[in-house]
Amino acid sequence: MVSLLFPGQGSQASGMGKFLYSDFKIAKETFEEASEAISLDLKKLCFDSADSDLALTENTQPALLCVSTAAQRVLRQETSVPVLAAAGHSIGEYAALVAAESIHFSEAMKAVRRRGQAMQSAVPRGEGGMVACLGLDDIQVRWMCEWVEKESGIKPLSPANFNSPGQVVISGSQKAIDWLKTNFKAESVPGSPKRAKLIPLNVSAPFHCSLMKPAEDVMRDVLTSMTFKDSKFPIYQNFTAQPVSKADSLRENLIRQVSAPVLWTQSIETMKLKNLTTMIECGHGTVLKGLLKKIDEGFKVYSLSSLDDLKSLTGDLKAMGH
């Protein structure tokens, strides 16, 4: 028995999902269904586009949902493994809800295409940014953001992604970030972290902060008009880090996560408390596998980025009686 994980932005790469499309009819049908839903050639976007085109938020989000859903469908066609729960990192949460049959795939494709456009247009390019904070704990990161806002008089700056212990991403005004880069001294942070490091991220907008409120308002309209059903298994959602199955709550949390921080570390720790420690990362890459190793080395996480990954996984599942 396993839980499914679905990656978010940053895991995309040209060629992702190609082996699924080539080797499995259900994956090819998934790409065709996705392309028809949003009038965009997902096969061309995922396999032949330049990384810069794939990195455009309005393209990245539907591409990730398409590939993750294709991987999830192939997995469940090729194995009989019972799924106990799921979680998705930011945009990955849509793939989790599709897997749990809470929302229809084609409707989800339309929603994430609109989400990407809304998030991209919420803040003029260059006015917002994101920074990865390494070597700082959650409390230190929160303190640093509040310190910047107070000392500089510039807002907002806040935690956006709690990815793993010692890896928190902050998001907000580019002017606040510039002030931070100029004035940051690790010894000034409570606890004086010795290996603190700030790494500006190459992103097109300041995601998961209050500057995304216009995009959240757009998504409230979009998601309110969509049909949500109670999920077939619990989704550990970004907004609450708690298992959710009821349709109305799933919808509201999905809306709220646009401008709220992604509580990924907290979600995974909650899953561990429920003895959910065997995971399958459905989608391209091993970003989530890497994060889970930093959260707790006791997790067993499988990847689905190649045919060899799938063969290895199915072999292990058969050995476990699935």
Query: Is the pLDDT at 240 greater than 80, yes or no?
Result: yes
What is the pLDDT averaged over residues 117-124? 93
**Domains annotated on the chain, with CATH:** 2-121+210-319 (3.40.366.10), 128-200 (3.30.70.250)
Peptide bond into 214 cis (omega under 30): no
Model confidence, pTM: 0.95
Give the range among 85-99, 182-196, 269-283 with minimum mean pLDDT: 182-196
What is the pLDDT averaged over residues 169-196? 93
What secondary structure letter does DSSP report for 296?
-
Task: Give the active site residue among 11, 158, 164, 208.
Answer: 208
Confidence of residue 151 (pLDDT cuts 50, 70, 90): very high
Average model confidence (pLDDT) across the chain: 95
pLDDT at 125: 87
Helix runs in 123-173, H state only: 138-152
Residue 284 is among the residues annotated as catalytic for this protein: no
What's the rounded Cα separation, in Å, for the pair 173 and 66? 31
pLDDT at 319: 79
Residue 104 is among the residues annotated as catalytic for this protein: no
pLDDT 10s digits, 18-31: 999 999 999 999 99
50 or 289, higher pLDDT:
289
pLDDT at 322: 66
Neighbours of 154 (CB within 10 A): 18
What is the pLDDT averaged over residues 281-295? 95
Helix runs in the chain, H state only: 18-23, 25-38, 42-48, 51-54, 57-78, 92-99, 105-122, 138-152, 174-183, 213-224, 247-256, 264-273, 287-295, 307-319
Query: Is the pLDDT at 321 greater than 80, yes or no?
Result: no
Torsion, Cα 111 215 150 184, to 10 degrees, reads 50
pLDDT at 250: 98
Task: Give the active site residue among 49, 90, 171, 231.
Answer: 90
Which residues have a Cβ under 8 Å from the Cβ of 35 and sit 6 or more positions away? 41, 42, 43
What is the pLDDT averaged over residues 54-81? 93
Query: Is the pLDDT at 320 greater than 80, yes or no?
Result: no
pLDDT 10s digits, 297-316: 999 999 999 999 999 998 88
* Token pair of 245 as six digits: 């199955």
